[in-house]
Structure 1
Amino acid sequence: MKRQKRKPSEKAFAKGYVVGFEGRSRSLCPHETQQARYDWLNGWREGRNDQWNGFNRMASVQKLSNR
């Protein structure tokens, strides 16, 4: 059975979340289109907030899988 691909916006958010959660810079955003960059930065922001609030790695993985 074929698996459905993720929407590009969800993928950009998830990649940004991981980078933010790892504490890396938002200047690492690889996207140039406005919508993908917006989604990536939103993910980055949420990842940074979760890291600052003390989430552990497993909580962040679970959060991304529930999106």
Structure 2
Amino acid sequence: MKRQKRDPFQRAYVRGYKAGIGGRSRDECPSDNVNVREYWMSGWREGRGDQWEGMTGVAGIHRSPTATV
């Protein structure tokens, strides 16, 4: 059975979220593609917001975007 290709925008969002929740800088976005960067930044903003609200570790499991993938 073949695996479907994952959506690059969803992957960028999840990676951005992980970077944001980990406290990394937004300047560390790995992509130069404007569309992919936009999704990465959206995930980063969401992750930073969750980090500021204390949704890290066990408290943030339900907010993780990887839980819905």
Q: For this structure pair, what is the TM-score category when the shorter chain's length is used for normalisation?
A: 0.7 to 0.9
Runs of 4+ in structure 1 off by over 6 angstroms are none
Q: Distance in 1 between matches of 2:64 and 2:7?
A: 19
Shift of 1:62: 4.2
TM-score normalised to the size of structure 2?
A: 0.82
User: 2:21 is matched with which residue?
Assistant: 21
Q: Give 5+ residue unaligned stretches, structure 1.
A: none
2:54 maps to amino acid: G
2:2 counterpart SS class: coil
Q: Distance in 2 between matches of 1:6 and 1:57?
A: 26
1:48 counterpart SS class: helix
TM-score normalised to the size of structure 1?
A: 0.84
Query: Does the CA-based 8 Å contact 2:14-2:65 persist in structure 1?
Result: no
Identity, % of aligned positions? 43
Shift of 1:5: 2.5
Q: Give 5+ residue unaligned stretches, structure 2.
A: none
Q: Please show how residues 1-67 of structure 1 align to structure 2 within 5 Å.
A: 1-58=1-58, 59=61, 62-66=64-68
Tell me the matched-pair count: 67
